[in-house]
């Protein structure tokens, strides 16, 4: 049985989003259990009002809330009884198999690192997300913003973690790892990216070389690794491109009465397009590299979006064994270190 711990107070809205999302999620996953963390009395009232299945929900009191603009260090130091932290502590204590929060990303990452610690060999966790692609292919992209000014070794760690997650989820037994770059040739990219290329080629990962951003959706790789600065900009560029194209489609269909009538006839197909690209469907980023599963929901999402984040957490908690990922990452980093040691010895 999978139990998720939920930071019920997190996000721009808090309870009015997380509670209805919990109800929706439990209707779809009646076998799951939730620990809802936050202000006890407000939580009880909200759950009652939403007619939540109380036999599947444990309320866990927490007196504090991390603000959306609060600095990570402040959250760590001053918010030891925040709904965010207590939710993560449930994972640490083995009470829950994954924690979900719509709280502020920096504080959530800092708290998750502090409470859960990183996997052996991992300097810093990364934020990962599956991008949809042609023919239903999923590509895990990381880091999407946790780490700025990364070293080549760190990007290799991201690649190793991503590869193990894709394996653990049963998506691909030998995931193809690509390096996000501005050309396919080895000589392309920043100094760090060139160093990363060299390391990835020496590694035991199934490295398929550079992947350009114009093949993000082509299924050219199962894992695409990048520095968090670039990854975050890619993620937001995809979001803004989809939004802009959606707005342009609406404009075209409102251009004339004739186009409006065409839009009515095309409504089922247009709704299909809208649903496919509904950002709420892709809500739920994975914090990868921790000794536990933590899922970050978009702060401004609604109940539908937050329910998708819960679903993502359930999926990770069910399929991805942290022990297996940890072992796989350790093995590939050890193999790379051995190759490098051999090389260094040869050079002496």
Site residues (vs a second copy, CB under 8 A): 133-134, 145, 148-149, 180, 182, 189-191, 193, 212-218, 228-230, 232-245, 247-249, 252-253, 255-256, 258-259, 261-263, 265-270, 272-273, 276-277
In the complex, the smallest distance separating the C-beta of residue 86 from a second copy, rounded to whole angstroms, is: 27
In the complex, the smallest distance separating the C-beta of residue 192 from a second copy, rounded to whole angstroms, is: 9
Q: With respect to a second copy, which residue has the nearer C-beta, 53 or 132? A: 132
In the complex, the smallest distance separating the C-beta of residue 9 from a second copy, rounded to whole angstroms, is: 23
Q: With respect to a second copy, which residue has the nearer C-beta, 277 or 302? A: 277
Q: With respect to a second copy, which residue has the nearer C-beta, 143 or 312? A: 143
Q: With respect to a second copy, which residue has the nearer C-beta, 162 or 189? A: 189
In the complex, the smallest distance separating the C-beta of residue 162 from a second copy, rounded to whole angstroms, is: 18
Nearest CA to 163 out of 217, 112, 126 is that of: 126
Q: With respect to a second copy, which residue has the nearer C-beta, 256 or 321? A: 256
**Token code pair at residue 275:** 């649903």
In the complex, the smallest distance separating the C-beta of residue 338 from a second copy, rounded to whole angstroms, is: 31
In the complex, the smallest distance separating the C-beta of residue 269 from a second copy, rounded to whole angstroms, is: 4
Q: With respect to a second copy, which residue has the nearer C-beta, 63 or 184? A: 184
**Token code pair at residue 299:** 């702060």
Q: With respect to a second copy, which residue has the nearer C-beta, 56 or 194? A: 194
In the complex, the smallest distance separating the C-beta of residue 222 from a second copy, rounded to whole angstroms, is: 17
């Amino acid at each position: 049985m999978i139990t998720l711990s939920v930071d019920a107070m997190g996000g721009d809205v808090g309870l009015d989003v997380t509670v209805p999302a919990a109800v929706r999620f439990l209707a779809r996953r009646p076998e799951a259990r939730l620990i809802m963390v936050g202000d006890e009395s407000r939580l009880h009232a909200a759950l009652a009002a939403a007619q939540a299945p109380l036999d599947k929900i444990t309320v866990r009191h927490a007196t504090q809330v991390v603000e959306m603009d609060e600095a990570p260090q402040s959250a760590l130091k001053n918010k030891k009884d925040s709904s965010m932290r207590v939710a993560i502590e449930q994972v640490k204590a083995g009470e829950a198999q994954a924690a979900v929060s719509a709280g502020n990303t920096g504080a959530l990452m800092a708290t998750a690192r502090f409470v859960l610690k990183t996997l052996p060999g991992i300097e810093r966790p990364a934020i990962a997300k599956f991008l949809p692609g042609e023919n239903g292919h999923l590509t895990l992209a990381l880091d999407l913003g946790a780490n700025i000014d990364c070293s080549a070794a760190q990007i290799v760690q991201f690649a190793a973690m991503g590869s193990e997650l894709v394996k653990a989820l049963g998506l691909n037994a030998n995931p193809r790892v690509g390096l996000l770059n501005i050309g396919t040739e080895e000589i392309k990219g920043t100094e760090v990216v060139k160093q990363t290329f060299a390391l990835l080629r020496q590694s035991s990962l199934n490295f398929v070389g550079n992947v350009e951003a114009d093949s993000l959706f082509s299924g050219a790789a199962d894992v695409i690794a990048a520095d968090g600065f670039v990854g975050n900009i890619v993620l937001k560029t995809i979001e803004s491109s989809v939004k802009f194209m959606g707005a342009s489609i609406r404009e075209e269909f409102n251009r004339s009465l004739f186009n409006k009538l065409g839009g009515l006839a095309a409504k089922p197909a247009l709704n299909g397009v809208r649903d496919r690209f509904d950002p709420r469907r892709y809500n739920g980023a994975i914090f990868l590299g921790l000794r536990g599963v933590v899922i970050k929901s978009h702060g401004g999402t609604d109940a539908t979006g937050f329910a998708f984040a819960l679903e993502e957490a359930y999926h990770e908690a069910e399929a991805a064994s942290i022990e297996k990922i940890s072992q796989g990452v350790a093995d590939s980093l050890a193999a790379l270190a051995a190759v490098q040691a051999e090389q260094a010895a040869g050079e002496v």
